[in-house]
């Protein structure tokens, strides 16, 4: 047997040594799929079935492509330079560079990044006189990219009403402008390459003859156009090896189509699916938990992970009274793992939503534990939080030039670079602040707009005074004055909430395709203010801003230093750790409430949980809180259904030695789970906040509020699927869960 094949298990060996045929390799988490892909390429070259330049391999990241090339160089004495190994966009870019004339592109065409593309969209809309408020530029950008990823030019898009018709007109004008300037966006790379192969038979036949073997990694993450491009390039004679795991398809929101795996079986005449089920990462109990969980998904090809390792420890499940207690538990357990000799870099804390990191970061900061937010920014360093803090800084001190420069044109209000230069020149000449110069330049009726300007203290509804016809700098000055006036004398959390609601930030991020995370972070800033009021002696706005600056400026571990890893579950895909904490396991949070009303949404959330579970090698913690701050208010939660889908025998419920919150009293859990839960004392009618209940129509839920007595008593229940409802107890027909 060739040395490159030694050490492969039977299924891996079968995949690597397949004859010339298309194959679907269903590769479970930790099953060695990267090794199989790389060894397959090496085997084809070593056995003479293909030359280094006769293989095309597609990865989803440049990092994965570089790793594959490095492994190949170590396995075979070949020159890997020039091999066709890369991402979809990278390979299409290479093909278009080689055949730019046939593709109708200039030789040195430029690629627009996301921000450059948005700027071009704005320019096109301005030239067309399109209202940016009715047609938010970011929404237009999504529309263009979404249609390109579906393989549709503007001429092929069906317009159902005036709105979609106008969007399509902008799409067409945008394409024309890109052609004039000789630029392409990311989505255009793939679409243009697909159209090139589709239209040019000679070129298509050339590449079909050249690439006898195509290998695709992470096949479950391909979108519609990527799949069509592969079919077109492969033709009937190419052997395509698709490697992926439908149970790890978690990018539906980006257009990934896990059903491509089922389509591949049919379209490429796959005779046999090879399943890589032996896991080399995790202990048995972790894999058993993941297997039981994912079986609840109906639309899957099906596999069962196993390991030659021992069962290992049970999964530790912790039920906390509050999110603060959950964070405190995580800190204590991380310290315990560290004392056992586990490196901090081998421990990860996962969460479903970015906003959850704020409470965790605060607890780690106070405990002096170094941490790093993987694949993202720390809470107080995130763009939307910095913008919100800048507005708050202006409320506290409008002469803060840095804060003013950050938000004077964010959200956009038509203040260009020249206007800012003139403003800075005026401030310098007068020896004053930018704010003072702005007030001087914002004269209305002969009176300067500024501190002497009477304003309506009623909250604005669109981020600026509703009746104000002002534009540019005058509009900004009037907005800041209205915000300052409306928040005078308010408690800190209400100041923060008002700024978030009426600065224009919320409306701006609502128009972003992936703005939901930013909105959750802005809501979490209100929670941060609530928590600060409870903890600090000085709960003023300046004190809160100082607190935010301190937490933003310190304690993020330097690159290369030992640090705890914080990340969303999406960011954790492809990684592994000795110990993993999966936090926030509550209905509405994980699974996320948005998934309840989306086709296939709940199944994707379950796949996301499957990914989270399989990141752990040895120690796995599952945590949730009975109450959590949301929008500055306490929300009472039901534990995630995912906990119910894991067998009891695999879990160890961690008991609390003492209640964290003095207002809560312990009440034993059912015998099947040796946990301690905490609920508030019962009201006179016998029901209590935090109690799990069942309704014959609305299903299961938890009581989040009680009020009234006797026949007037009623309860507010957050139902898992029916939402929040008030029910009169006299007619409620509730039963304890």
CB 672 within 8 A of CB 688: no
Active-site residue list: 33-34, 217-218, 248, 615
Q: How many CB atoms lie within 10 A of CB 90?
A: 17
Q: Which pair of structure tokens corresponds to residue 604?
A: 């994707």
| All residues at 6 or more sequence positions from 192 whose CB lies less than 8 Å from its CB, including other chains | 92, 96, 103, 105, 184
SS3 for 28?
Answer: coil
Please name the residue that has the structure tokens 């604005």: 460
Q: How many CB atoms lie within 10 A of CB 336?
A: 11
SS3 for 241?
Answer: strand
DSSP-assigned states of every residue in 388-401: HHHHHHHHH-TT-H
Contacts 24+ apart (CB under 8 A), 236-240: 237/208, 237/212, 238/22, 238/208, 238/211, 238/212, 238/213, 238/214, 239/20, 239/21, 239/22, 239/23, 239/212, 239/213, 239/214, 240/22, 240/23, 240/213, 240/214, 240/215, 240/216, 240/264, 240/268
SS3 for 522?
Answer: helix
CB 299 within 8 A of CB 603: yes
Query: If we measure between CA atoms, which residue out of 236, 232, 227 comes closest to residue 195?
Result: 232
Beta partners for 668? 676
CB 639 within 8 A of CB 664: no
| All residues at 6 or more sequence positions from 119 whose CB lies less than 8 Å from its CB, including other chains | none
| All residues at 6 or more sequence positions from 659 whose CB lies less than 8 Å from its CB, including other chains | 321, 665, 666, 678
DSSP-assigned states of every residue in 90-115: HHHHHHHHHTHHHHT--TT-EE--HH
Distance CA 246, CA 81 (A): 32
**CA of 89: how far to CAs of 60, 422, 598, 723, in Å?**
9, 43, 29, 42
Distance CA 166, CA 140 (A): 10
Query: If we measure between CA atoms, which residue out of 556, 574, 613 comes closest to residue 590?
Result: 613
Distance CA 287, CA 306 (A): 7
DSSP-assigned states of every residue in 560-580: TS--EEEEEHHHHTT--EEEE
Interstrand relation of 110-111 and 371-373 (parallel, antiparallel or unpaired): unpaired
């Amino acid at each position: 047997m060739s040395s490159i094949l030694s050490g492969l298990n039977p299924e891996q060996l079968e995949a690597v040594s397949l004859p010339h045929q298309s194959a679907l390799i269903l590769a479970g988490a930790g099953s060695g799929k990267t090794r199989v892909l790389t060894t397959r390429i090496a085997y084809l070259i070593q056995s003479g079935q293909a030359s280094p330049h006769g293989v095309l391999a597609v990865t989803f990241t440049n990092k994965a492509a570089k790793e594959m090339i490095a492994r190949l160089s170590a396995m075979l004495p070949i020159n890997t330079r020039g091999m066709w190994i890369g991402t979809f966009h990278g390979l299409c870019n290479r093909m278009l560079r080689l055949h730019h004339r046939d593709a109708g592109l200039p030789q040195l065409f430029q690629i627009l990044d996301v921000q450059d593309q948005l700027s071009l969209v704005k320019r096109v809309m301005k030239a067309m006189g399109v209202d940016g408020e009715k047609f938010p530029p970011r929404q237009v950008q999504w529309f263009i990219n979404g249609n390109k990823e579906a393989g549709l030019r503007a001429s092929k898009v069906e317009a159902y009403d005036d709105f979609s018709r106008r969007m399509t007109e902008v799409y067409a004008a945008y394409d024309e402008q890109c052609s004039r300037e000789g630029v392409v966006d990311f989505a255009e790379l793939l679409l243009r390459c697909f159209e090139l192969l589709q239209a040019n038979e000679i070129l298509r036949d050339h590449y079909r003859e050249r690439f006898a073997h195509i290998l695709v990694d992470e096949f479950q993450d391909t979108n519609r156009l990527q799949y069509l491009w592969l079919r077109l390039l492969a033709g009937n004679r190419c052997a395509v090896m698709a490697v992926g795991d439908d149970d790890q398809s978690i990018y539906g929101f980006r257009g990934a189509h896990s059903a491509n795996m089922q389509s591949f079986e049919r379209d490429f005449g796959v005779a046999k699916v090879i399943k890589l089920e032996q896991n080399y990462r995790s202990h048995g109990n972790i894999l058993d938990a993941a297997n039981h969980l994912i079986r609840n998904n109906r639309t899957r090809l099906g596999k069962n992970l196993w390991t030659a390792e021992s069962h290992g420890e049970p999964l530790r499940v912790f039920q906390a009274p509050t999110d603060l207690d959950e964070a405190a538990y995580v800190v204590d357990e991380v310290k315990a793992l560290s004392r056992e000799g586990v490196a901090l870099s081998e421990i990860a804390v996962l969460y479903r939503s970015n906003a959850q990191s704020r409470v965790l970061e605060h607890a780690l900061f106070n405990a002096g534990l170094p941490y790093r937010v993987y694949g993202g920014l720390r809470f107080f360093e995130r763009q939307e939080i910095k913008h919100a803090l800048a507005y708050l800084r202006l409320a506290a001190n409008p002469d803060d030039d840095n804060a003013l420069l950050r938000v004077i044109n964010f959200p956009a209000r038509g203040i260009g670079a020249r206007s800012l230069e003139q403003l800075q020149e005026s401030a310098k000449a007068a020896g004053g602040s930018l704010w003072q110069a702005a007030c001087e330049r914002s004269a209305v009726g002969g009176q300067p707009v500024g501190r002497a300007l009477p304003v309506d203290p009623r909250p604005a509804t669109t981020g600026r005074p509703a009746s104000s016809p002002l534009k540019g700098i005058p509009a900004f000055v009037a907005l800041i004055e209205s915000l300052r006036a409306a928040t005078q004398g308010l408690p800190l959390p209400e100041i923060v909430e008002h700024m978030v609601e009426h600065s224009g930030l919320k409306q701006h991020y609502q128009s972003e395709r992936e703005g939901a995370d930013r909105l959750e972070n802005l809501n979490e800033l209100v929670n941060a203010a609530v928590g600060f009021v409870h903890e600090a002696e000085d709960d003023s706005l300046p004190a809160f801003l100082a607190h935010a600056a301190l937490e933003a400026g310190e304690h993020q571990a330097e690159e290369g230093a030992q640090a705890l890893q914080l990340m969303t579950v999406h960011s954790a895909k492809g990684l592994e750790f000795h110990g993993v904490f999966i936090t926030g396991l509550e209905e509405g949070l994980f699974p996320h409430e948005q998934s309840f009303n989306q086709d296939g949404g709940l199944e994707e959330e379950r796949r996301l949980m499957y990914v989270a579970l399989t990141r752990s090698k040895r120690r796995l913690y599952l945590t949730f809180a009975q109450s959590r701050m949301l929008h500055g208010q306490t929300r009472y939660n039901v534990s995630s259904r995912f906990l119910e889908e894991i067998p009891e025998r695999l879990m160890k419920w961690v008991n609390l030695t003492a209640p964290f919150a003095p207002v809560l009293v312990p009440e034993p859990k059912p015998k099947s789970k040796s946990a301690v839960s905490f609920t508030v004392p019962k009201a006179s009618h016998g029901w209590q906040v935090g109690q799990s209940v069942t309704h014959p129509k609305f299903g299961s839920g938890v009581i989040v509020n009680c009020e009234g007595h006797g026949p007037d008593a009623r309860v507010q229940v957050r139902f898992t699927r029916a939402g929040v409802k008030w029910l009169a107890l006299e007619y409620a027909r509730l039963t304890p869960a």
